[in-house]
Chain A
Amino acid sequence: MAMLSGAQILIESLVREGAEAVFGYPGGVTLPIYDVLYSHPLRHVLVRHEQNAAFAAQGYARATGKAGVCMATSGPGATNLTTGLVDALMDSIPVVAITGQVPQALIGRDAFQEADTFGISRSATKHNYLVKDIGELSQTVHEAFHIAVSGRPGPVLVDVTKDVLLSNADYSDEQEMEPLRGYRLTDDPDPEAIERAVEFLWRAERPYIYAGGGVISSSASAELVRFSELLEAPLAHTVMGLGAMPTEHPNFISMLGMHGSYAANMGVTECDALIGLGVRFDDRVTGRLDKFAPGAKVLHVDIDPAEINKNRRADLGLVGDAKPVLRLLNERLAETRTTLGRERREARLAWMEHVRAMKRDHPYLYEESAEEIKPQALMRKLDQISGGEAIVTVDVGQHQMWAAQHLRFNHPRLWQSSSGLGAMGFGLPAAMGAKFACPDKTVIAIVGDGGFMMSLPELGTIAANRLPVKIVVMNNNTLGMVRQWQQLFYDKRYSEVDVASFPDASLLAAAFGIAGGSVTDPADLDDALAHAFDEPGPYLLNVQVTPEECVYPMVPSGGAVNEMILQPEPEAAEAVAGD
């Protein structure tokens, strides 16, 4: 036992829980914490805006599976974190956020930089705390990490009053932690449920796997691949799932949903058994829900009981963590393989061949150009550079969808996208967090010109830390996805989407003391990319692409996924406009 201040206990507790880096921004009430950090080995990364601390913590978490840690002061510091926390909640990413709160004596008196952080963050987190007693601080930090990473992961916020940070108490890192009474993790499904699932799986003639972020959270990639191979079933990924099965695996079809491939969406429409693994039947995947997998029975595996039957009623629901569930299923599938009759086996092989043929016949299409850099061509080039091995973070919009369509991922945890919340400004700070987590990996932030401007201040963090992140701005001088919707569904009335007047990238980069450049001619693209990736430090590359280009295929909002717009055509404007 040693007598430590609250601020010291906080930092020691973070270290005890395995924190390697804290992304943060100091302020008035967190001064005691920063005074401890001044001489503490725990690494603190000073970001330029608190929102980006939360995104960077996510970048770290998405790359490692461990909880990312961010820190902000009371009031505006805490409110600025909120978007990043909601984003982590939507995508089930483990983040622990530490915020300072005004001293207890001032709470509720509209003190300087006071905000009701506990109240504001309630719906932005999986769980949150307000610590007013130094005796509870260490246990609370322990609980926060446990809740963030276990079960369905998510963000947890710990708000600590300044008087707690300044007071003193005994601390020992061997202190026993009390279990949580109301927080129970789901058990593995019982053998009976597994048998029912195995029976369900063998009964199908046209099985189809739809796998998402839950498989990645569960580190169940190997089990997923084995499952697909045992079943000889084609597999599509959600945006969150990309990388769970290697892109080049013969059973992998593509991403499905609003901008998924023809084969992925037709496969889900035609299958007779849909196996959802760590997915939530999100509206961007299902389109019109009653036309989604209309002839299929559904087996839904998810760690969160509240996901089963939420959007699509499951004929069979298995509550559990993807990894153990898939292990149990694989074991039984391997043992019972012979029960699949010859006839059904042939039907299934024909089905697999049919889906693969659709994939071959309907690749993602675009017109090549010698005059302009096509955004899809840029993604293909980046894919060649990555070879399926780089960490790729994206923002939100057209570039995000083109990247999802055209880049390969050989492993999980390489692809980072604000998928559920769709928060612009995510890509660049997430890349910072990923680079801190995986310094030996190539990290590419592919961002649009809109989202880049939202995360612009973080060039300061990248420069200050000489963080060798490659920032590729897919610049079409417009808020492309909004423009696409205005083009297709709002009679080309382009309202407030013109974000031209993008700064000169080499001057902008130079102003921050990093390297940068621009490219507009397709003939120069290879050289420009080679230059950017050869540069040992960070690089900002602005790539001017065709401005009027739409992402296809596209399922109009509220439409059925098999009613995709495959290519630009004027009739498309008649389609339903929705949210």
Chain B
Amino acid sequence: MQQLISLLVENKPGALMRVAGVLTSRGYNIESLTVAKTVDPTLSIMTIVAEVGEDGRDLLIKQISRLVNVIKAVDLTDSRAVRRELVLIKIYVEEERRPALLTEVEIFRARVVDASPKAYTIEATGSPDKLNALIALLRSYGPIEMVRSGAMAMARAKQNKLPVPSYTEAALSEG
């Protein structure tokens, strides 16, 4: 089953390798992994989706948590969290079908970010389920190319929040 992990990690060389290493050394396949700096540029947040068996999930969190560069790791699989993903889709579609396509894109609150005589490039964000539905729909119009960002998640439950300074705190400490 897919486990959703969110972690706060020091933004240091090798940090990604260490976290990924905990997963790969156990033979878990990483479905997606996103990482970027936080408000505090010395820290990064990673969101990982990986195929992990039910009984391995707790151990995996503990083994990631004990890495020296990891400040906190939480399992968001079963908890309240906002999950979003970004997808870019290039679709080759004939001119007469474009109006219909644009209507469908509108329904998904996606938008066209590039257009050429042969193709549209569409950007969409949403839950992985929503994006899967959009992709399925667009494929009925013609061949597509796509790039997905992988999931990002932000905890809603207090106990799962990562201890990242907020903007105001960061501004205060810099000042």
Which of A's residues lie within 8 Å of B, judged by CB?
Answer: 118-119, 122-123, 126-128, 130, 147, 180-183, 304-306, 309-310
Beta-carbon contact of A122 and B17 below 8 Å: yes
Q: Is B139 an interface residue (CB 8 A)?
A: no
Which of B's residues lie within 8 Å of A, judged by CB?
Answer: 9-10, 13-14, 17-18, 21, 25, 58-59, 62-63, 65-71
Can you add 7 more A-B contacts, CB < 8 Å, to A118-B14, A127-B67, A305-B65? A123-B21, A130-B13, A147-B68, A182-B67, A182-B70, A305-B66, A306-B59
Q: Which of B17, B62, B65, B69 contacts A119 (CB 8 A)?
A: B17
Which residues of the other chain, A, contact B18 by a CB distance below 8 angstroms?
Answer: 122
Beta-carbon contact of A180 and B68 below 8 Å: yes
29 A–B contacts, CB within 8 A, in A order: A118-B14, A119-B17, A122-B18, A122-B21, A123-B21, A123-B25, A126-B68, A127-B68, A128-B14, A130-B13, A130-B14, A147-B68, A181-B10, A182-B9, A182-B10, A182-B67, A182-B68, A182-B69, A182-B70, A182-B71, A183-B68, A304-B66, A305-B62, A305-B65, A306-B62, A306-B65, A306-B66, A309-B58, A309-B59
Q: Looking across the interface, which residue of chain B has its beta carbon closest to that of A156?
A: B68
| Alpha-carbon separation in the docked complex, A119 to B20 (Å) | 12
Which residues of the other chain, B, contact A183 by a CB distance below 8 angstroms?
Answer: 68
Which residues of the other chain, A, contact B67 by a CB distance below 8 angstroms?
Answer: 127, 182
| Alpha-carbon separation in the docked complex, A306 to B25 (Å) | 16
| Alpha-carbon separation in the docked complex, A186 to B71 (Å) | 14
Which residues of the other chain, A, contact B68 by a CB distance below 8 angstroms?
Answer: 126-127, 147, 180, 182-183
| Alpha-carbon separation in the docked complex, A182 to B19 (Å) | 13
Evaluate whether A181 and B59 lie within 8 angstroms (CB atoms) in the complex, with A123-B25, A306-B66 already known: no
Q: Looking across the interface, which residue of chain A has its beta carbon closest to that of B60?
A: A306
> Which of A127, A128, A306 lies at the interface centre, i.e. has the most chain B CB atoms within 10 A of its CB?
A306
Minimum CB–CB distance for B165 against chain A, Å: 12
Which residues of the other chain, A, contact B10 by a CB distance below 8 angstroms?
Answer: 181-182
| Alpha-carbon separation in the docked complex, A496 to B14 (Å) | 41
Which residues of the other chain, B, contact A123 by a CB distance below 8 angstroms?
Answer: 21, 25
Which residues of the other chain, B, contact A304 by a CB distance below 8 angstroms?
Answer: 66
Minimum CB–CB distance for B99 against chain A, Å: 52
Which residues of the other chain, A, contact B70 by a CB distance below 8 angstroms?
Answer: 182
Minimum CB–CB distance for A359 against chain B, Å: 35
Which residues of the other chain, B, contact A181 by a CB distance below 8 angstroms?
Answer: 10, 71
| Alpha-carbon separation in the docked complex, A305 to B68 (Å) | 14
| Alpha-carbon separation in the docked complex, A380 to B68 (Å) | 45
Which residues of the other chain, B, contact A119 by a CB distance below 8 angstroms?
Answer: 17
Minimum CB–CB distance for B152 against chain A, Å: 21
| Alpha-carbon separation in the docked complex, A123 to B59 (Å) | 17
| Alpha-carbon separation in the docked complex, A309 to B18 (Å) | 23
> Which of A122, A127, A130, A182 lies at the interface centre, i.e. has the most chain B CB atoms within 10 A of its CB?
A182
Minimum CB–CB distance for A82 against chain B, Å: 15
Minimum CB–CB distance for B144 against chain A, Å: 37
| Alpha-carbon separation in the docked complex, A260 to B10 (Å) | 44
| Alpha-carbon separation in the docked complex, A309 to B60 (Å) | 12
